[in-house]
Every structure is written in structure tokens, then in C-alpha cells.
Amino acid sequence: MIKKKSCYLCPKDKNIMKRVRVRFAPSPTGPLHMGGVRTALYNYLFAKQHHGDFILRIEDTDSQRYVAGAEEYIIESLRWCGIFPNEGVLENGEMAVEPSPNHPHAPYRQSQRKSLYRAYAQQLVAQGDAYYAFDSAESLEALRQSAESKGEAFVYGPTSRATLDNSLAMEPHEVAKRLEEERWVIRFKIPQDHEVVFQDLIRGEIKVQSNTLDDKVLWKSIDGLPTYHLANVVDDHLMEISHVIRGEEWLPSLPLHILLYRAFQWQDTQPLFAHLSLLLKPDGKGKLSKRDGDRLGFPVFPLEWKSPEGVSKGYREEGYFPDAFVNMLALMGWNPGTEQELISLDELTHLFSLERVVKSGARFNLEKAHWFNQQYLRTKENTQLAQEFAQLLTEAGITFDPSKLLPIVELIKERALFVKDFIDLSDYFFTAPTQYDEKLLAKHWKEDMPQKMVAVKNFLFNIEPFTAEMIEHPLAQFIQASEWGMGGVMNALRLCIVGAAKGPGMAAIMSVIGKEETLRRIERML
Ligand code: GLU
């Protein structure tokens, strides 16, 4: 049944012939899930790699599910990740509404394209590929329930439609009358007893028996709007989309979409399809959901989302770097074929390939997410980190000497996963300990220690300049010469200065807090 030209056996040749044009087509029904960000990312990488176009299209024809603020959220999320569509969104972050050389297919918001879809639905009716249906929501619900009670699924399709309330077996004058008087929909007429065969770039050949498919609704008179299926296919055609890269949840819709392309005789320009597998829960059982995030303490959304139901965490607000987040997402379902894990967005545009996208779902791993952030943190300029740190300290109401931030960042950076960890890792730089670790006290603060500490204090008093180099070696020599155990004295000193067994080398810490404060902290213990 497949005509030769719609054959996908040589997609590579098709790639060469066509300009690559891909789109991310979210529906503004709430915050964008990280799986959606990954879909956008793969589309973006694919477009960049092929010097093609990456389009953002807002699929907002389902007015019931529309959520205010979701569109802005989507655009802001992509911007945070560094994923910029080159078509659909203007430089000021708004959707293009008027056609222009850079945005020739504007508007890119489907609700603003409303008027163009109806003719396509009617064309299908006129050529016998679609029909009008008048069934009430109640009657369909009853049929659904009765099928369910027999353990079956109700299909409004090739084998049942003749018995239902539609125009297929009606006289034209009756159809005309009912169209005037009632609510109606246009349904696609799935061909009967037909095997739909198509290719997915990730999954290979797929065959579906048409009798299992629904005659999906394409158009509704109630709001004068197309459904997702019609608007999506019409827009992919009009916007000259070459490749549809989207989530696996849309795979069941693909046979219908393929049949729509055929009905419109658009096979020659039909896009190639690639359906991405899901992001899975950490245990691998099922789709990664917001609830998993809440339960296990990680975000599933790029940015924080506030709604009357509450606040959902965002990677940005949790302190992830966008480049670390993007790197992690890229590797959830794709790999470069080497051991390389740290890959910048720019490098990804060269390395990415649909061939290496895996069929199986990718599990989310929180430790790995932390690891990515840690790796990126280590590569950040200390001056940038110091700036972010200053902001956090100010927010936390901690007073600090700005000139000390850079050396502190240098000392604690390696131990942090996030910049926000700096606060806990550095508390003793800003305030003298108020509590002393009990175990350390018992172990290292023996009877003769105050006396030794007085000597250490006097020794430190004479060091000038009070730098780590000037402290470290001479202090060790002094302790050795006094024939005291090195570990015991150094631990006791750490107790005085830090209060706990943490932090970098003592000479470095003391040089940062300065001589006066060092001596003062020792004094407090004596
Ligand atoms: N509007 C659909 C969504 O919300 C788009 C699916 C597609 O890419 O075709 O995910």
C-alpha cells in the first residue's frame, strides 16, 4: 500500500535533499518536564549539526488544558538552557506573530492560526477521508463503559463506525440539517483492513493493523478548533518540517499521522520521524514523574513553577548550572560512543547523532546529576563563583570581608557540589565556632593541651607575614622540635579554629582568617 515515494528505506538520501527543519511543539499545559527539555535539546542539536532550522511552535488548541504562564515558562526554560530557536521566537522572547524573513511561517501559536485548519478538515470530508459525527459525549461514554465491562476497549473506528451516529450512511440533506442544529465533530476515516507500515528512525519499521485504530477527531464545532492531530500534521507540512523528533508518548499517534499525510497526498514532503524513549524513575520502573521528584528530593522541571497547588522545584533554583543540566540531559538516552561524559553544548552539536539515541528508557540518577554539577563547578572561574557566593552570603545575612571570598572559594571549591554548599563548607571562615565537636574534644583536648596551645599561639604570634607558606612548614618544625605528636596538636588546633574535623589545611585556613582572629580563637579555648 505504501507508495514508493513515501518509503523511508533511504532516509539518508532524503536528508541530503531536504533542508533540515525541526520543531519543538509543546502544549502550554503547565511547566515543561525535563523530558520535554531533552526533546527540545535533541531537536536543537540536530538542527545545529545540519545547519538547519529549529522552530518553536506553541500547540495551544486545547483550550481546556491551557495554563496561563506556561508558554513564557517554556521559552524561559529553553533560554536558561542556552537552547535558542531560530524561528518562532523573536529576540525579545515573544512568539513571532507577523511573518517576516526570519519567521516566514508566523504566527507560530496555533490558536492564532485557527482559521486555516478548517479547510483542511473539510477537504478530507469532501474526498471521503473524513466524516461528520454527532454522537453525544454521554452515548460515547456509555459505549466505552460497556466495552470495558467486557474487558475490551471501545474503538470508534473501521469496525464500529457504521453503527454510530455519523454522516457515513446519512442522506446529504439530513447531514446539512444536523450540522446546522447540533454540535458535531469531523473524524478521520481510518481505512479498513489495512496494514499501516512506517519507519521510525530510532525504532525501525513498525506495522499497525488499521482496525485497531480510532477514527480520531480532527475538528470540533464546539470551539471551532482543530485537535492536536490535525493542527500538528498541517503545521508540520506548512512549516516544511523535515524531521519530527518527539517523545515516545506520541508513537501511538504516528499511524494516524502517516495516514493523514497520505490522505492529503503530502507523502513527498512528509517528515521523517524519531520517537525518543522516556526518562525513567531512578529504579527504572515507569516514567519519571513530579511525584518521584518530590519523594526523592530532586526537581523534574528546569525552573521553579508556582501554582495554586504549590511550588515545584526547579533545577535552576536548586543551584544547578544550566550547562551541567544540559550535559546530563543529553546523555540521558544518547551517548557519543566513547567514554566522554563532560560535553559542552557546543561540542554536543558536533557529536550528536540520532543513530546513537537509544531505544530503551533512560533512568534518572540523582548522584549522577550531582556529579555533573560538581564537575562543572570545578571548571567555573573562581571570580564568578565568588560573586555568586557573595550574593548567597548577603541573602543569608552573613557579614564578610569581600577580599577574603576568592581565597575561600579556592579552598572549598573542590568539596562542593553546588555553590550553595559554600555556606556550610565555609561557616568557620566568617564566625568563630560556637560549638566544639565532642568526640574530637575527648580525643584531642587532653590535660596538657592548653599548655601546648599557649606555646603554639606564641609561635604563631611571631609569624610575619601571616601567609600559608610562612605558617605551614615552620609550625610543623616547631611541633616536631617540641617533641609533641603532630596529629594531636594539629587536631587540637583545628578544634580551636574550626570546631570540627573538617575543612582544608590549617595553615591555609589560618592565613585567610588572619593572625588576630587565629590567636583569638585559640585564646577562647584556654
Ligand atoms: N503538542 C505536543 C506536545 O505537547 C507535540 C507533540 C509533537 O511533537 O508532535 O508534546
Give pLDDT tens digits for 220-235.
999 999 999 999 999 9
| 247 CA to centre of ligand 1 in angstroms | 8
pLDDT of 15 > 80? The answer is no
Nearest CA owner, ligand 1 atom 6: 25
| 246 CA to centre of ligand 1 in angstroms | 7
**Tell me, what's the pLDDT at 6?**
33
Strands 195-200 and 204-209: antiparallel
Q: What HEC string does 19-54 produce?
A: CCEEEECCCCCCCCCHHHHHHHHHHHHHHHHCCCEE
Strands 225-226 and 217-220: antiparallel
Assigned CATH topology for domain 380-421: Helicase, Ruva Protein; domain 3 (1.10.8)
Least confident interval from 4-13, 42-51, 377-386, 451-460: 4-13
Q: Where are the domains of the chain?
A: 280-378, 380-421, 438-525
Nearest CA owner, ligand 1 atom 2: 26
Whether 317 contacts 80, CB under 8 Å:
no
- Spatial CA neighbour of 510 closest among 526, 500, 521, 501: 521
**Tell me, what's the pLDDT at 17?**
58
Ligand 1 pocket check: which of 246, 256, 273 to mutate, most ligand atoms within 8 Å of Cβ? Answer: 246
Please tell me which residue in 220, 290, 380, 420 is annotated as part of the active site: 290
Task: Provide CB contacts within 8 A for 160, sequence distance 6+.
Answer: 154
DSSP 367-388: HHHHHHHHHHHHHS-HHHHHHH
pLDDT of 160 > 80? The answer is yes
Whether 281 contacts 292, CB under 8 Å:
yes
Grade residue 293 by pLDDT with cuts at 50, 70 and 90. Answer: confident
| 62 CA to centre of ligand 1 in angstroms | 12
| 229 CA to centre of ligand 1 in angstroms | 9
HSE (side-chain half, CA atoms, 13 Å) at 425: 20
Give pLDDT tens digits for 99-145.
999 999 999 999 999 999 999 999 999 999 999 999 999 999 999 99
Which CATH number does 438-525 carry? Answer: 1.10.10.350
| 376 CA to centre of ligand 1 in angstroms | 32
For the segment 13-42, the average pLDDT, to the nearest whole number, is: 89
- For residue 83, CA distances in Å to 46, 107, 165, 324 come to 12, 20, 47, 14
* Cβ atoms within 10 Å, residue 48: 20
Ligand 1 pocket check: which of 59, 235, 260 to mutate, most ligand atoms within 8 Å of Cβ? Answer: 59
**End-to-end CA, the chain:** 92
Give pLDDT tens digits for 390-435.
999 999 999 999 999 999 999 999 999 999 999 999 999 999 999 9
Average pLDDT, the chain: 94
For the segment 175-181, the average pLDDT, to the nearest whole number, is: 97
CB-based pocket (< 6 A), ligand 1: 25-27, 59, 228, 232, 246, 250
| Ligand 1 nearest atom to the CA of residue 228, by list position | 1
For the chain, give the number of residues.
Answer: 526
DSSP 468-502: HHHHHHHHHHHHHHTT--HHHHHHHHHHHHTSSS-
* Cβ atoms within 10 Å, residue 112: 14
- Spatial CA neighbour of 325 closest among 310, 314, 334: 314
| Ligand 1 nearest atom to the CA of residue 232, by list position | 9
- Spatial CA neighbour of 508 closest among 412, 403, 393: 412
Architecture of domain 280-378: Orthogonal Bundle (1.10)
Whether 296 contacts 290, CB under 8 Å:
no
> Counting Cβ atoms within 10 Å, is residue 349 exposed (0-12), middle (13-18) or buried (19+)?
middle
> Counting Cβ atoms within 10 Å, is residue 11 exposed (0-12), middle (13-18) or buried (19+)?
middle
**Tell me, what's the pLDDT at 292?**
86
**Tell me, what's the pLDDT at 5?**
32
Cα 200 to Cα 215: distance, rounded to the nearest angstrom:
22
**Tell me, what's the pLDDT at 270?**
97
Whether 33 contacts 65, CB under 8 Å:
no
- For residue 345, CA distances in Å to 50, 292, 374, 377 come to 15, 27, 17, 16
| Ligand 1 nearest atom to the CA of residue 236, by list position | 9
Residue 290 annotated to the active site: yes
- The letter for the amino acid at 266 is W
For the segment 38-59, the average pLDDT, to the nearest whole number, is: 97
Whether 102 contacts 55, CB under 8 Å:
no
pTM for the full model? 0.91
The radius of gyration of the chain's CA atoms, rounded to the nearest angstrom, is 32
